[in-house]
Structure 1
Amino acid sequence: MTRPAHLPFDNLYRHGFVRTAVVVPRCKVADPAHNAAATIALLREAAAGGARVVVFPELGLSAYSCEDLFHQHALLDAAEAALAQVVQATADCPALAVVGLPLRVDGALYNVAAVAHGGRLLGVLPKSYLPNYGEFYEARQFHPAGDALVDHIELDGFGRVPFGTDLLFQALNLPALVLHAEICEDVWTPVPPSSFAAMAGATVLLNLSASNITVGKSAYRHDLAAAQSARCVAAYLYASAGFGESTTDLAWDGQALAYENGGLVAESARFRADSHWIQADIDLERLQHERMRQTSFAQCAARHRAETGRFRRIVFTLDLPDGALPLQRPIARHPYVPADGPERDARCHEVYDIQVQGLAQRLTASGIGCIVIGISGGLDSTQALLVAARAMDRLGRPRSDILAVTMPGFATSSRTLDQARRLMTAVGCTAMEIDIRPSCRQMLADIGHPAADGTPQYDITFENVQAGERTSHLFRLANHRNGFVLGTGDLSELALGWCTYGVGDHMSHYNVNASVPKTLIRHLVHWVGTQQADDAAGRALAQVLFDIAATEISPELVPATDGAGGNAPAQSTEDTLGPYELHDFSLYHTIRSGFSPAKVAFLTRHAFDGVPGRELPVIKRHLRTFLWRFFQTSQWKRSCVPNGPKVGSGGSLSPRGDWRAPGDGESAVWLADWARIPDA
């Protein structure tokens, strides 16, 4: 994607966004001069806020509810004069305006959307489908687009203007911005005109609507806009008529909506008595990436080439805002974890169901008698054990078929060991405890490592001997008990290569946490605690889960300077790697949307704005760690990971799933882009 690199880092247009506005003026019926003045004032206001695409309601220059007044030439003349005023206003206003009016063409009257920019009328799009049922009688006044015999019209003061539903408008200096407009009923049909426009390249779809309000209609508008933006992998901006329209037989709520790829970006309050508008920062780069990733989108466009090939492109150049222009849309700090409580609970429930179903099927297919799992007293193994317990419940098998083993080593803290013991008891599995220090000392002695006799040389060998011994014990126990080893490592660790390759936490027979990131696992564990019954057993499990969720993340492989066995882990993973919430944020936007490091940093800064310790220099430092580890040093570990279910749309790093990459790739291009992030 071509980006306006001359703009400063903190300007949203530099990072593939465009600011749009959906405007609902307070109108007067059959008073185009008043409506034009209101339209121009609101257009300038939106443009001053950085918006460069501004859409208004259907027939907004005349008002929608004029009925047979639409056959009065005085009104039609005034509407065309109002259009001329709006077009002229765009000469010194940087925004592109899309307004609705009645327009005479070859002796017929059309309900149209007029696109104006830079003092020019760029094109006019007529309404395709006229409702003539219920309270609607549009066919009484207007002709549908299909009746038109021309593809250009001559308008006084504008010359020859493109006319038709086949018009796309593309910004030369922001080429991912390609606009198309349809009108109200068009999106209520089985195949809206915007569907073909999107397949022809339109990324921002506009709907100029009047749409009177009845009970339940607002929710249906949401459904339509969400579905159309999702199917078309586009933004969908919907402007509805508001206060001032005639209430002779109808009422109007002035709803404004903005959706992007199925997700709501902004919406207005309804039933306001004043003019109002919403702004929506649309991520054009995300839309382009989604269309590129979803190969079926291009296949569908090719199948309908007879329709998509007829579209005409009209180009213009935007006057982009210079200086700082931060985002005004919400960006989730934790993209894998919904912020809304009920939605988060539903997400946790579904994640568990996916993990449990994957494990239950594997148990059934393999005929294995038991599950063997290592329990550290930390987040990941807790989550895996909870999934295993529920899988056994679902299969009607006793939880005693789970052999849970805690294996204290040189750096195991008293806190995590206690948590492991309490957890195994509360879950009701078969529990075992193996002190791995003797076997680790033997291994260290066999390879001639100084730590075998107590010398404090806590290097990578010292750490991996412990990790390897634990996994070795688990695999041999699985052989001995006719079981299989359930993995516990998570998506975040796999992304960063934070796992001991081969005979270590990298390997298992099946890994239910393979595509669950660390930030989500903490919520999952806490959520299970909140679901427990209010009895002694439920309270005991809940308490240990809450304790585990509150424990600092640590591999517990290096003892404290005063020896092992303290009340808290001596190592902090996040002190070494950086905060998981930042790494998970980078991971999501890197693998899900293919964003560049600079854009990831821009989004991170916005998402964590005002949070201490999340300033841009901190973000930049930790982002480099992520980029180096993810692209340069860790792929070879991901190339041979165990089986495990994909959980979310945020991606999986299995080479059999979402992510296929060379194990010896270079990180140079990502680090070069990273270097362009300012230090302050």
Structure 2
Amino acid sequence: MASAPVDQLLIAFAQLNPVVGDLAGNAEKVRAARRLAAEQGADLLMFTELFISGYPPEDLVLKPAFQLACRQMVEELARETADGGPALLLGTPWVEAGRLYNAVALLEEGRVAAVRYKVDLPNYGPFDEKRVFAAGPMPGPIPFRGVRLGVPVCEDVWSEDVIECLSETGAEILLIPNGSPYRRTVYDERTNVAVARVVESGLPLAYINQVGGQDELVFDGGSFVLNADRSLAVQFPNFQERIRLTRWERWADGWRCEEGARAPLLTGDEADYAACVLGLRDYVEKNRFRGVVLGLSGGIDSALCAAMAADALGPERVHCVMLPYHYTSGDSLTDAAGVAQALGCRYDIVPIAPAVEGLEACLAPLFAGQARDVTEENLQSRARGTILMSISNKFGSMVVTTGNKSEMSTGYATLYGDMNGGYNPLKDLYKTEVFRLCELRNRWKPAEALGAGGVVIPPNIIAKPPTAELRENQKDQDSLPPYEVLDAILERLVEEERTVASIAAEGFDPALVAKVERMLNLAEYKRRQAAPGVKVTTRNFGRDRRYPITNRFREGA
């Protein structure tokens, strides 16, 4: 029996942090959110894309046992809606007639009342949904208590066709579940797309996005509601879980959402920092590590990683280890201790000379007559990597690796040495951005950060020239161009895929650009073996930029 039309609708939106594969845990989040929504008098509670499975499930979703378990969990939650509480709009994998869909199900009155499928499957950058899902047919609206709800899924809103179909078939409100990961340009992109769909359709729109880290991706939330006149009715914060109740009223010209809370969004460097903290926290928590351990060298990269780790987990779960050798300066020892003290983390000093000299003694017969070179430098880094991994094995803490995108781009890192580790919060940040974030952290920290406030990275670390300290008086600029030049070239090569000639035409030294491009290509084998890390740019190494290791193409060759 059709429900009578209503002139008011209370819709609760859940911007929450699911865990991929944790069906029981995600279902408990649904139940807890539904209890809260019921207390608020909500008619409907909406979740984000593929919430029950977690997003993105990648090839896990191809496993028949997983598909069945998702369906059973959705049907169990559907039965619970017979209690008269809020109905649910829940994202889930759904198999129908032998085809697997990215779906949204309406759970109401004890049953799965309706299912709609994602039409436009993204297949670029970090997305490869065409690999696992079938594209759904053009959807019609879902009838709910006399209101026709259009429920396009994530990518469906990025083109006109799906929204046009919903509008033409009578949708009155657009409710869009999303799994949209953070990148620096994302807020303007989302807003522009949403406004365009509102203008084209004449309908109000709710854009509800997942929050939380999943491997290299960080979902930033930032959900919002636009009315048909394009005005912003509700804005969720980014990088935080929230459940918000919204009040909708039917007017002569259609539905309108009553204005509610409009949280300010973190943007720019603040958003990058918050993304790195959230990505690290969720990688550690969701994979059930006790805490983290990292080598604290007295340099800028490890100092920033220590601050991010303390903000993510609390200082009591961060173990900083200084691993000095003959080339470690007094400044480095002082600065490393200063970071640990300011953050309140455990700090130990483990000299590596016995390990390095033991390895050199083992190799002396093989290396007889050979000059000392980068091999001996790398022994220092690998001794440090082995010690950190041993601490990890013994105490169950994950090693945080601290290399930045400039180093990952050029191969200025040691395999099985400073590249050892489980996760890298700086992986998608260039060196110049690391400097900026250190200065930022000394004057600001995210609202939910667990670390100490104030200056936590000694100014000397920011001011002194970067060095790996693997030989006497070594500086990074002995091997690399100045970072402000290097990073500008790398951004054009990596993010923009520019040619050497076009970069040189901007005034960069052609020989230097060609050298950097060669270093970028040769380091692919190292990057393939690097730890995962937070994606913040439009083109990170791993999910976005996938180059072959064996590759003889060279520009101009």
What is the TM-score with the length of structure 1 in the denominator? 0.41
> Larger Rg: 1 or 2?
1
